[in-house]
Chain A
């Protein structure tokens, strides 16, 4: 029964949607304190390569690799974040974009470690490791009526789903806390926030580093889901793609990032039948969207209205 519902193709797309949601959040969090970071592709690459190299060469468990990857990315985030504080707006955007490119060029040239543009093969795959572990404790996928590869992708999907929920919970909690209020006050008016006694440096570095952490985490997971990475995965195109997730969905509310990543990951799959034209459609879509709704599809107003409608319906 369960075996017929679970289609690995959908689970695979679902997994990529979840990873992209993490990436979108990695842009959203710094943006909520007014910092536009285009370095997500670079941080993602650092996370992916760190975790992949550790698990390949030192046989470390994937969990440790992923944590190390995310931490390596956030360490870089702190190092870059502190001097970058002096920059804002487009300057920060271009500097972080540049950082991402520099990181990619290093991956391409550091041949002995990264095998250059040929990329790293044989990265342990998350789902297969889980399957092995499950078998170790005497569980067989057949026991719940699914095939091995269905189990592999189901387990990846579930792990990612749990992680995304935890991240969302954390970010929403943070927004409603002292930290979140500090961040949004910095976003609205940096000078006023400073005069109210908010430690701008501290909070800005915090939100920038959180962004780097989420991007690194997503990158490490990406490496272990796809099993193969090369520098081309972390190029300028990736950075722009991730930025567009956030801005398309709505950069003012976190649900916008989730929606943007969901919609824009699914769209190319759905548009497979017009695959020749899908990037043209993509380009037009962005222009039209910005002209009609520059704050993104979802914003606080729209959300309020949806909630309002729902509660009215409830009373009826």
Chain B
């Protein structure tokens, strides 16, 4: 039973980690908590359901569709809710928080109108494939999710540290004005960040749909709150931290259910962040410097 629960925990944790990556990227560059990220993730899941279930598209096409749609959403989010606030006088740090909350309310209720309130099944033959070893059944989807999360983490790390765009992105994250003086097109970099983060959210959406066979307009909220907790746990703006934080949360939630009281499952994320904030406010992997920058 322990082994099975560890597999459950790693699957859940990998999904948390992918969602947290989107949060952490936007926060790292813009210093903004994107409260609409959970809903973008939800839209990604619905695109997957529509593409595979209603339109009958193959899975790879559904993936591309989800990435395209969430990227466009990311662009719109940047263009209409974040950009108007940037560089404006008298804008408090609250404004982007509120405005992304506005987007999340809008997206959740739009999906209600378009898709209805209930759960939608996500049926693909791919999610039926499983391997049985002894008494343990592992689904291929679970392995895929884990691999994708690792690939995304490694990919992002390499992209940020090795490529030109990644370096420009880090420069922008460090200091927006200096970067733009040095010839970085910060506007482009910011759009790129939000779009990439949203696309990652879309991927997470489709993976959740496949793994758990349930997609509903409300799924964005609880995942979004968990993602928020994870980036605090792992350190704001830290890619490795998001990954480790996600796995820790997924595993501890699963273990709480397995050996404790499942009623407190939703609280554990927040108990953990309250403790970590009091002991080590910069998060597990955060550096002191990033704390100063807040």
Contacts of A282 in B (CB 8 A): 102, 105
- Is there an interface contact between A94 and B229, defined as CB atoms closer than 8 Å? yes
- Is there an interface contact between A287 and B91, defined as CB atoms closer than 8 Å? no
- Is there an interface contact between A280 and B113, defined as CB atoms closer than 8 Å? yes
Q: Does A123 contact B (CB under 8 A)?
A: no
- Compute how far the CA of A94 lies from the CA of B97 in the bound complex, rounded to whole angstroms: 11
* Chain B interfacial residues counted at CB < 8 A: 46
* Chain A interfacial residues counted at CB < 8 A: 44
- Compute how far the CA of A84 lies from the CA of B80 in the bound complex, rounded to whole angstroms: 34
- Compute how far the CA of A101 lies from the CA of B94 in the bound complex, rounded to whole angstroms: 21
Question: Of the candidates A89, A95, A240, A280, which one forms a contact with B110 in the assembled complex, judged by CB atoms under 8 Å apart?
Answer: A280
CB distance from A24 to the nearest CB of B (A): 14
Q: Mark A237-248, 1 if CB is under 8 A from B, else 0.
A: 000100110011
Q: Does B10 contact A (CB under 8 A)?
A: no
- Is there an interface contact between A284 and B274, defined as CB atoms closer than 8 Å? no
- Is there an interface contact between B102 and A287, defined as CB atoms closer than 8 Å? yes
Tell me whether A284 and B106 are in contact in the complex, defined as CB-CB below 8 angstroms, given that A90-B294, A244-B101 are known contacts: yes
Contacts of B124 in A (CB 8 A): none
- Is there an interface contact between B90 and A295, defined as CB atoms closer than 8 Å? yes
Contacts of A149 in B (CB 8 A): none
Question: Of the candidates A83, A247, A276, which one forms a contact with B94 in the assembled complex, judged by CB atoms under 8 Å apart?
Answer: A247
Q: Is the interface of A mostly helix, strand, loop or mixed?
A: helix
- Is there an interface contact between A94 and B102, defined as CB atoms closer than 8 Å? no
CB distance from A112 to the nearest CB of B (A): 13
- Is there an interface contact between A94 and B232, defined as CB atoms closer than 8 Å? yes
- Is there an interface contact between B263 and A86, defined as CB atoms closer than 8 Å? no
Question: Of the candidates A91, A247, A290, which one forms a contact with B281 in the assembled complex, judged by CB atoms under 8 Å apart?
Answer: A91
- Is there an interface contact between A251 and B281, defined as CB atoms closer than 8 Å? no
- Is there an interface contact between B270 and A98, defined as CB atoms closer than 8 Å? yes
Contacts of A86 in B (CB 8 A): 277-278, 281
Question: Of the candidates B105, B108, B267, B278, which one forms a contact with A102 in the assembled complex, judged by CB atoms under 8 Å apart?
Answer: B267
Question: Of the candidates B221, B229, B266, B281, which one forms a contact with A87 in the assembled complex, judged by CB atoms under 8 Å apart?
Answer: B281
Contacts of B261 in A (CB 8 A): 109
Tell me whether A90 and B93 are in contact in the complex, defined as CB-CB below 8 angstroms, given that A284-B102, A287-B99 are known contacts: yes
Contacts of B271 in A (CB 8 A): 98, 102
The interface-forming segment of B42-50, B57-65, B81-89, B208-216 is B81-89
Chain B's closest residue to A291 (CB) is: B84
Contacts of B80 in A (CB 8 A): 287, 291
- Is there an interface contact between B273 and A291, defined as CB atoms closer than 8 Å? no
8 Å CB interface, B252-284 against A: 261, 263-264, 266-267, 269-271, 273-274, 277-278, 281
Contacts of A89 in B (CB 8 A): 93, 294
Q: Does A283 contact B (CB under 8 A)?
A: yes
CB distance from A87 to the nearest CB of B (A): 6
Q: A240-B101, A287-B99, A299-B90 are in contact. List 16 more A-B contacts (CB 8 A).
A: A94-B229, A95-B277, A98-B271, A101-B266, A247-B95, A276-B113, A279-B108, A280-B105, A280-B110, A283-B102, A284-B106, A287-B81, A291-B99, A294-B92, A294-B99, A295-B90
B-binding residues in A (CB < 8 A): 36, 83-84, 86-91, 93-95, 97-99, 101-102, 105-106, 108-109, 236, 240, 243-244, 247-248, 251, 276, 279-280, 282-287, 289-292, 294-295, 299
8 A/B residue pairs, CB under 8 Å, sorted by A:
A84-B277, A90-B97, A236-B221, A280-B109, A284-B106, A290-B96, A291-B84, A299-B90
